[in-house]
Amino acid sequence: MDFLYRYRSIDKLFEYKELENLEIYFAKPDELNDQMEDYMNIVWQGDEIAFQCLFKHYLYLLTHLYYEASIRNRDKRLDIEHLPVFLAIDILNAPEIKTFFKEIYFEFFSSQSIAEIPKKLAQSNKKFTAGEILLILKSIHLYAYYIIDSNIKKIFYRINPFQSKEYSESYREVKNWDGCSKTINLLIGGLYYREQIVNQFSNFSTQYQINKAMVNNLHQDKDTYNINILSFDFPDLYIKNIKKLLYNSFCVACFSATFQNEPMWAHYANNENGICLRYKIKNENNKSFINLNSAYGDNRSDKIEKIYRNHEIFAVNYSDVYPEIDFFTSLGCLPKKILEDFWLTNYDRTEFSSCLKKYDNHNEWYYNYHKKATEYICTKSKNWEYEQEYRIILRELLYPAYEEKQNRLANYKFEDLDAIIFGRKVSIEDKRKVVWIINKYCMENNVKPCNFYDLYYSTISKRLELKPYNNFYT
């Protein structure tokens, strides 16, 4: 592979001055066309300790957010896009965690049916999907919420909520609800039907509506946004945010292997009213690169800088099967100390999950971890196969630097821009403007201009072809 092609509309080219600045924009997943761009095919498979830790983290995060919303920052709305899923050692060792959260944790697992869940999940030796884990969390959520709610009210508000008959009855109904056991048995049983899952969600919905009426009745004089988030929406938000523990957010620059793709001209170059940029590619050791000046975020500080470096180019794999990411052995955004002290150990830190052994051989784990990242970022449905897409990936940027557009702009070297191809519908005026921009840059920097081509349809080859652009009038 000697060249890559990037389709651009004229409007965006001029509006953002991409040619003047020699810029390539790296898009976030939600800015791309494929709705599956940010999809991770996460599976949960592990021993009893690993699953206990999942529920421990779920409880801890729910407790932390409840405390924030009801005690520390009562007037601040929870940021549902950025739940604080990360833990620090100083938080784990804080006195209130060792006492207050410990009571919540052991009260939660004092329920025999709850205590059996991690054991059943581990013994099944099944790979549970995100949708199945969500079902389980929904089945235990109201029980967890009541435990946290009642403990915080007793400790910080000095009131006993169980003195309320309505509260006590709702708590008993949630605690004795058999939906949790039914859900677990359904999932570990293997084969189940869509109707059964729909029925389970219907059961959850009914249960939630009953308690929603009760909760809102108790808070008639308050903004119930945070209350609704914590008491009803939290399982879905947790699953959405938990994947941040696995991989940093990514952004990509998309290219194609060909300029002869008519749908690509239609979709990305404004129905041939745009252009296609052809870049030279470096090939070494069976890998392809392009040199870009891109932002680099140091994980150990907030410093963001731009440096020129070779960026590997990856071919997109088109498949109807997305690569699996094992949750318990892919916690790459956490230091190993957190894995040893919280995520893969029992509450007293006296026993460890067998999943922790996967991290021992760091070089092997690191290689497989990053290989899996590339696989999931570069896998798309076969429906997109016509694009013949290649990608450059940026994964080093951390939030909030990742959200800043200027940090997702990279500069290429002019000598790597081999040609500009004009679509068949580009006006003479726009062609002149593009040529003028390039010629101006070349005169100012004393370099030779790139090639210019016009696109045309060949009745001989029956496909799009190139002919030199006649720039006599420019």
pLDDT at 231 over 90: no
Half-sphere exposure (Cβ direction) of 252: Cα atoms closer than 13 Å: 25
Please, is 224 exposed, middle or buried when counting C-beta atoms within 10 Å of its C-beta (0-12, 13-18, 19+)? Answer: middle
As a dihedral over the C-alpha atoms of residue 461, residue 462, residue 468, residue 472, rounded to 10 degrees, the angle is 130
DSSP letters along 246-307, please?
TS---EEEEEES-S--HHHHHHHTTTTTSEEEEEE-EEETTEEEEEEEEEEE-TTSS-EEEE
Q: How far apart are CA 413 and CA 291, in angstroms?
A: 7
Whether 234 has a pLDDT exceeding 90, the answer reads: yes
Asked if pLDDT for residue 216 goes beyond 70, the answer is no
CB 34 within 8 A of CB 384: yes
pLDDT at 473: 46
Strand partners, 128: 44
User: 193-203: per-residue pLDDT in tens?
Assistant: 556 665 665 66
% of the chain exceeding 90 in pLDDT: 65
Query: Minimum mean pLDDT among 124-138, 180-194, 409-423: which range?
Result: 180-194
| % of the chain residues with pLDDT over 70 | 89
Is 90 exceeded by the pLDDT of residue 410?
yes
Q: Residue 264: what are its φ and ψ, rounded to 5°?
A: -65, -40
The confidence band for 68, taking pLDDT boundaries of 50, 70 and 90, is confident
Give the whole-angstrom CA distance, residue 216 versus residue 222.
Answer: 9
- Render pLDDT for 307-357 as a digit per residue (tens, 0 to 9): 999 999 999 999 989 999 999 999 999 999 999 999 999 999 999 999 999
What are the residue boundaries of the structural domains of the chain, listed by start? 3-38+247-316+378-468, 41-243
Residue 210 has pLDDT above 80, yes or no: no
Q: What is the pLDDT of residue 341?
A: 93
pLDDT above 80: residue 441 = yes
* Rounded average pLDDT over 71-86: 88
Query: To 5 degrees, how large is the angle CA 345–CA 351–CA 354?
Result: 70
- Given a cut of 50, whether residue 474 has pLDDT beyond it is no
Q: How many CB atoms lie within 10 A of CB 49?
A: 22
pLDDT above 60: residue 220: no
- The closest alpha carbon to 378, from 24, 10, 39, 15, belongs to 39
On the question of pLDDT at 42 being above 60, the answer is: yes
What does the H/E/C string look like for 441-455? HHHHHCCCCCEEEEE
Question: What band does 212 get if pLDDT is binned at 50, 70 and 90?
Answer: low
**pLDDT given for residue 434 in this prediction:** 96
State the angle between helix axes of 165-175 and 194-218 in degrees (0 to 180), rounded to the nearest 10: 160
| More confident site: 130 or 91 | 130
- Res. 221: pLDDT tops 80: no
Mean confidence (pLDDT) of the chain? 88
